[in-house]
Structure 1
Amino acid sequence: MKLIIVFLLSGFCFSQTGTTFIEYGVKAIPKESNLEKMSLEVCPNLYDIVEGITFNLYANDTISLFEIEDKFKEDNSTETGIAKLRSGYNGEIITKNDSIYNLNFANYLERNLILKKEIKHDWNITNESKIINDLLCYKAILKKETVNSKGTFVNTIIAWFSPEINLPYGPLGFSKLPGLILEAQTKDCIYGVKKIEFNYKSEIKFPKIDTNKFLEEEEFEKKINDYREELKK
């Protein structure tokens, strides 16, 4: 069955000063794997739970914060935990300058760790376009390489961005496109904009980056490897 996704855009205007609020919905892409079967055995309504989760992006000219809606932050149920992972979410993400900071992503290693990654989004912007909620969007493709103990894997990310909204951000830390990402597809799920509110009135306090707590990618890999070795003892 073909996966059909419709996202409605509401409260829209084109003025862009101060902070912009963007709400994303998400849908899981069904797939066949042992992990997927195990997840569905534990959580039979997994896809419905994923679809019920909303994510918020707060952005201005210099910084963005991507996070799950507050009520899901406090939900520590097994089902919601599986749904968060299935959606690709692993903690708040700050995008600032040329770096991405992933907050609270590995509390099993140490509380309040921050993973710092340099933005290496080498997008291939195509001429393919489509209209999303009356906005002209262009397709961009990103080949993202992942290296783990099982080998090297290349995942394809597809993003649809609108140059009409001059914010270079999107869900899950995707950025560096000449316009806001309205839709993003990973191998696991599809994110789509549900609402955009410019000149957001509520006070947003972007988290401060504790330089004593953040790890570069190489440092994080070493910490993970040390942790795995300890588990073997």
Structure 2
Amino acid sequence: MKKIILLFLLMSSVVFSQDFQGKATYKTHRKTEIKISTDKGAPNADMQKKLHERMKKMFQKTFTLNFSKSASTYKQNKELEPEVKSGGVEVVMFGSGGGTDVLYKNIVDKSYTNKTEISGKRFLIKDKLPEHEWEMTSETKKIGDYTCYKATRSREEKRTSFTMTDGEKEEKKEEVTVAITAWYTPQIPVSNGPGMHWGLPGLILEVQEGKQTIVCSELVLNSKDKIEIEEPTKGKKITQKKFDEIMKEKTQEMMERFKNQRKSKKDGESISIEIQG
């Protein structure tokens, strides 16, 4: 028995040495509720069904987290973007660089660098990682071969939504509480996870944040091929606060352009879409 315990300890010291690296693939999906007006000119029931299915596909993405004990990069995998256009209705996802975005997290320095693009302009967001106040529980479940423990937290979010009807924009602001549930495994003692999620005594394999779910579908530890984890360096350096201000301004500009386009349409065309979740 002593020999078996000693062997296990030796194996652990190798697996989780300073050179320890891993690669995790995550899949995302989001519950969506799409409300479309039934006014004259709006898509019929069949078109609305197709639009809903295509919207669901827009939120189904895969990401790769390359990680060591101290740092990580998180990037969306390249895949074909579904065309979301049906019955004269077109939905544009704004504010995401998609496959060009790279999120670098340094767990030791508690900092992050996010390379992203807006309207062809590249930004480098450099800031401190948020200190998450996780509430630990003893609840467990298996994800693949790993025993995971449940942790929860919540965050307050100021949310602005827009509804466009006959070219007239209606803006609604509200403060919401977003519930977050994470499942982490101490079997991989890396305080990291997908996106901006981190701060638990083990790798996060699943996250439920509001209506979005992120689940690890593949995990490779200490591959023969060395993983390069490099902090992105190209782009205009700004803080997260400044980037949020730019995003708000660009969103307003986009809504104004859409408003003008709707006004130029023929009379009788009335389309109002509200997307929740």
The TM-score range, normalised by the shorter chain, is 0.7 to 0.9
Deviating more after overlay: 200-209 vs 150-159: 200-209
Computed over aligned residues only, the root mean square deviation of the Cα atoms, in angstroms, reads 3.5
Deviation at 1:26, TM superposition (A): 2.8
Structure 1 alignment gaps of length 5 or more: 1-12
Give 1 or 2 for the bigger CA radius of gyration. Answer: 2
Report matched runs for 1:7-156 at 5 Å: 15-16=15-16, 17-29=19-31, 31-34=32-35, 41-42=50-51, 44-47=53-56, 50-51=59-60, 53-69=61-77, 71-72=78-79, 75-79=80-84, 91-96=101-106, 97-104=109-116, 106-108=117-119, 111-120=121-130, 121-149=132-160, 150-156=173-179
Q: How many matched pairs?
A: 208
Structure 2 alignment gaps of length 5 or more: 1-10, 37-44, 85-90, 161-172, 258-277
**d(CA) in 1 for partners of 2:159 and 2:224?**
43
Q: In the TM superposition, what whole-angstrom CA distance separates every residue of 1:41-63 from its partner, at most 9, and x where no partner exists? A: 53624445655x32211000221
CA, structure 1 residues 161+84, in 2 after alignment: closer, same or farther (shift >3 Å)? farther
Aligned 8 A contact 2:102 2:115 in 1 = yes
Higher strand share: 2
Deviating more after overlay: 133-142 vs 14-23: 14-23
CA, structure 1 residues 84+204, in 2 after alignment: closer, same or farther (shift >3 Å)? farther
- The aligned counterpart of 1:161 is 184
* Identity between Structure 1 and Structure 2 (%): 22
CA, structure 1 residues 127+213, in 2 after alignment: closer, same or farther (shift >3 Å)? same
- TM-score by structure 1 length? 0.72
Deviation at 1:200, TM superposition (A): 2.6
Q: In the TM superposition, what whole-angstrom CA distance separates every residue of 1:198-231 from its partner, at most 9, and x where no partner exists? A: 1133343334343862321222233345546767
Deviating more after overlay: 208-217 vs 143-152: 208-217
- TM-score by structure 2 length? 0.62
**d(CA) in 2 for partners of 1:179 and 1:215?**
31
Q: Is 1:190–2:213 an aligned residue pair? A: yes
Q: Is 1:181–2:190 an aligned residue pair? A: no
**d(CA) in 2 for partners of 1:49 and 1:226?**
24
**d(CA) in 1 for partners of 2:83 and 2:178?**
27
